[in-house]
Amino acid sequence: MKNLVVLTGAGMSAESGISTFRDAGGLWERYPVEQVATPEGYAANPKLVINFYNERRKQLLSVQPNKGHLLLAELENQFKVTVITQNVDNLHERAGSRNVIHLHGELTKVTSSLQPNNPKFIRELRPENYEVHWGDKADDGSQLRPFIVWFGEPVPMIEKAIEYTESADIFVIIGTSLNVYPAAGLLNYVRPGVPVYLIDPKEVKVTSGHKINVIRKGASEGMEELKNVLQKEFV
């Protein structure tokens, strides 16, 4: 089985109704990034940040994986699929994808404010307990915070993502502007000659030596086209 590595961004989940951050009307227009997605914002107003992510979790209860997520999961029947996602939702997992690397953390998890990347303190929340309150403590006694990689924090999973990218036989990019690093730099680790496909309804500026096969469609329609291409070319 060929190694199919897929990098996904906000456009992957947009069709499911998850608000994107960067588009017009997106979350950054309503909540300044400095307030809700930086360590400084959390230090200044932790209750605001905790409530912001409570609202994001509640949104998960009202959305479902879209056809793009489902088609990507189906490809596991024919390829060894690794999904590297910049998204913090759990829609890939709910669609059935089994090997998902979350670069920017996971919305359904909380952790210690003092040692956010210590596995001892990372805890999965059940849907009935998605609300975190001020005063809820991690096992080290610190306030529970979202298990999210904020701007200015290290990205612990990037090394693992690079390893998978270097072993890719096919590399696919879906619904990401390729503006956020280090995720945007993963394309530089794709081996020369490996086919690269990009699914996005909008133009994405790619600075890379790779030939990019562009599918100018949304995640669901784009995945349908990609699935047909992959089955003809590689199965």
Catalytic residues: 104
Residues 44 and 40: their CA atoms lie apart, in Å, by 6
Q: What are phi and psi of 8, to 5 degrees?
A: -120, 150
Q: Rounded to the nearest 10 degrees, what angle do helices 67-74 and 219-234 cross at? A: 20
Give every CB contact of residue 229 below 8 A, 6+ residues apart in sequence. 197, 213
Question: Exposure string (b/e) for 181-192, b if CB count within 10 Å is 16 or more?
Answer: eebbebbebbee
Residues 197 and 112: their CA atoms lie apart, in Å, by 38
CA dihedral 221, 224, 229, 231 (to 10 degrees): 170
Compute the residue count for the chain: 235
Residue 178 backbone class (left: φ over 0; alpha: ψ -120 to 50; beta: rest): left
Residues 66 and 174: their CA atoms lie apart, in Å, by 13
Residues 16 and 206: their CA atoms lie apart, in Å, by 26
